[in-house]
Amino acid sequence: MVSAPSFSHPPRTVPSSPSISNPEKATSSIQINPDMAFPEGPAGGGVKYAASKLLAHRATLDWMAQNKPHFALITLHPSFVVGHDRTQVSAATPGATMNSWVLGSLASGTPVMPGQLVDVRDVSAAHVASIDAPLDPNVPLTEVQLTGPTMNWEAVAKVVKAKYPSIPCKMTEEGPYPAPFVGDSTRAEREFGIKWHSVEETISSLLDQQLGFRERAGL
Amino acid sequence: MAGSLIFITGASGFIGSQVVLDTLTAGHRVRVNVRRREQIDELTARFSPAVNSPDQLEFVVNSDISDSKAIGSTLGNVEYIFHLASPMPNSKNPDFKTGYLQPAVAGTEAILAAAALAPSVKRVVIVSSLLAFMPLGTLRVPGFVVDGKCSLFQSSSSDST
């Protein structure tokens, strides 16, 4: 079932300058109307965020094509980033949005988002690798998808049930849950040398931190 | 000392904090851009475990990430830029254009413009999202393949595959 957002009028195509050479070639040709009506509330926030990411990347492509700067540009495109949150100091402080969505999905039994998660350590590693990664000198912009191994909620639930019985989890390893979208991790692996953390490593990293907070709080 | 000088925005965030720590651990020098001076003490405490020499971590304050001229004045000797600062799905301003789109675009274009005037900059890294390759409404399509070949893409442009 496709849960597409509803619009007050059909999207129309916004002209964009021709995309510069890049393998995905996708962003400049996606139909989107910046003047469309967005849903209100939290659902609207997600759609607005998605639309802003699309249009902002298109603006980046356009800027590069128009300005032809001396530097090389690398754009990183992660899926849902989760894991140990260096900004969170206790269970009482707000943590990373996607981490809270994972915990909420587990507790409710209903996925808040597709199960295509990527470990924050892998996203970070892609930044460090960007310093030395081999780039095609003829291509001014290199897009890197960061999607990791294909995670899914069944695999996440299996880890939680096996290792974290104290974490509220109505999800099951049998599921079934909708299959998440599929990205292309080829460039991240081959040219940026990313070795993805496994589902277990990623989920454990997230939950170990949360359990640590609870223990310190005497919960 | 060894290592490159890297300018990082969004360093106080979830991804950005991990990036600063890993960049320092890899032996590079980091110039952290903050919006408010008051952030510096907390971030220094967060990042100092990964600092091996005193000159490895420094801070600059740019209250307006869309001010290209101000950003440019803080790029001296910078070789790489990691730009992570961007609005999140729960933006305090719910208006699409002023709460989401314009801040994201203005920040990115200011960084790019500033970098274009800084000869020392070799590479710029911008954090986008896989959503940038997905037509709206495809996020929850089971098994949707992010390859630009779905029917919601235009088929007329010369760059279609």
User: What 3-state class would DSSP assign to A163?
Assistant: helix
Calpha distance B46→A118 (Å, rounded): 23
Check if A74 contacts B (Cβ < 8 Å).
yes
Residue B147 exposed, middle or buried by CB count within 10 Å (0-12, 13-18, 19+): middle
Which of A29, A50, A60 is facing B157, going by the closest CB pair? A29
Calpha distance A165→A42 (Å, rounded): 30
Which of B18, B115, B136 is facing A47, going by the closest CB pair? B136
Q: Two tokens at B64?
A: 């307006």
Q: What's the ipTM?
A: 0.91
Contact B133 A77 (CB under 8 A): yes
For B154, the closest chain A residue by CA position comes to A29
User: Superfamily assignment of B5-128 in CATH?
Assistant: NAD(P)-binding Rossmann-like Domain (3.40.50.720)
Residues A50/B134, Cβ–Cβ less than 8 Å: yes
At A135-154, the pLDDT tens digits run 988 888 899 999 977 789 99
Contact B100 A48 (CB under 8 A): yes
- Give the gap in angstroms from C-alpha B98 to the nearest C-alpha of chain A: 11
Element (H or E) spanning B125, and its range? strand B123-127
Residues B35/B59, Cβ–Cβ less than 8 Å: no
Calpha distance A206→A200 (Å, rounded): 10
Find how far residue A1's CA is from the centre of its chain.
21
Contact A181 B105 (CB under 8 A): no
Q: Two tokens at A218?
A: 């005497």
User: Please, where in chain B does CATH 3.40.50.720 lie?
Assistant: 5-128
Beta strands of chain B (E only): which ranges?
A: 5-9, 29-34, 57-61, 80-83, 123-127
Of residues B155 and B103, more confidence is placed in B103
pTM here is 0.89
Residues A54/A16, Cβ–Cβ less than 8 Å: no
Task: Tell me: pLDDT of B86 over 50.
Answer: yes
Q: How confident is the model at residue B117 (pLDDT cuts 50, 70, 90)?
A: very high
Matching CATH number, A71-216, of 3.40.50.720, 3.30.565.10, 1.10.3720.10, 3.30.200.20:
3.40.50.720
Q: Around Cβ A35, how many Cβ atoms within 10 Å?
A: 10
